[in-house]
Amino acid sequence: MKPENALPPEWLAAQLHSPDTPHESLPVGGFRPAHDRWQPRPAAVLVPIVHWPEPAIVLTVRSRKLSLHAGQVALPGGGRASAEAFPLGTALRETHEEIGVGPDLVAVHGLLDCYDTITGYRIVPVVASIDSDSRLRACPDEVDEIFTLPLSVALDPGQYRHHRVVRDGHAHDLVSMPHPRWLIWGATAAILHQLCQKLS
């Protein structure tokens, strides 16, 4: 049984872009370079909502053995593989690989706006609920740890910190969120902040 403060799926879906929205037509936020040669690679992440023992979002700590973003807090996801449905297929495949939750245990609600990263990816966030029968298992090659962030915290605007940073002479905004154990920042914090804006 879901807690009383769980988000009704119909209401949640109404706040998001439809899952079948072409990713090319989604609004784009995030990093903006000073030049006009920007061609970010497509990627997708799942924003997985669980409802036990309270509504929360599943987050991972990336393996410290990885060459990119090692040790950082992340949502399950990654780059698009050729010939797979995008963004849903990418987000579901990566979620299965990284935290052991198969597509049959995921109920997709909708999409958030795209987010461009400094490292050259255009991320499509897919918001979904995970079935209560799911057993989270970290892929040892990609994930050091799995933890949950209470949904009440993620949807509290006061939890977010806003920063102005300069890279290669170009200023852009960065979002972070304090946590007792982990620093949540970058694309992950920005996507959670966007979810907060959509649902609050």
Question: 140: domain CATH number?
Answer: 3.90.79.10
Per-residue pLDDT reduced to its tens digit, 60-96: 999 878 766 668 999 999 999 988 999 999 999 999 9
Assigned domain for 2 exists: no
> Does pTM surpass 0.85?
yes
Asked if omega into 19 is within 30° of 0 (cis), the reply is no
Q: Compute how many other C-beta atoms are within 10 angstroms of the C-beta atom of residue 181.
A: 8
Query: What's the domain count of the chain?
Result: 1
The answer to the question of residue 172 being in a domain is: yes
Higher pLDDT, 109 or 4: 109
Range of the domain at 113: 9-20+38-199
pLDDT at res. 1: 30
Looking at 51-200, which runs of residues are DSSP E strands? 56-62, 73-74, 77-79, 106-111, 114-116, 121-130, 143-150, 161-167, 170-177, 184-185
In a domain? residue 27: no
Tell whether 25 is covered by a domain.
no
Helix locations, 40-159, DSSP H: 88-99, 151-154
Is 42 contained in some domain?
A: yes
Calculate what percentage of the chain has a pLDDT beyond 90: 76
84 found inside a domain:
yes
Q: Does the residue 33 lie in any domain?
A: no
Residue 30 lies in a domain: no
Q: What is the mean pLDDT of residues 186-199?
A: 97
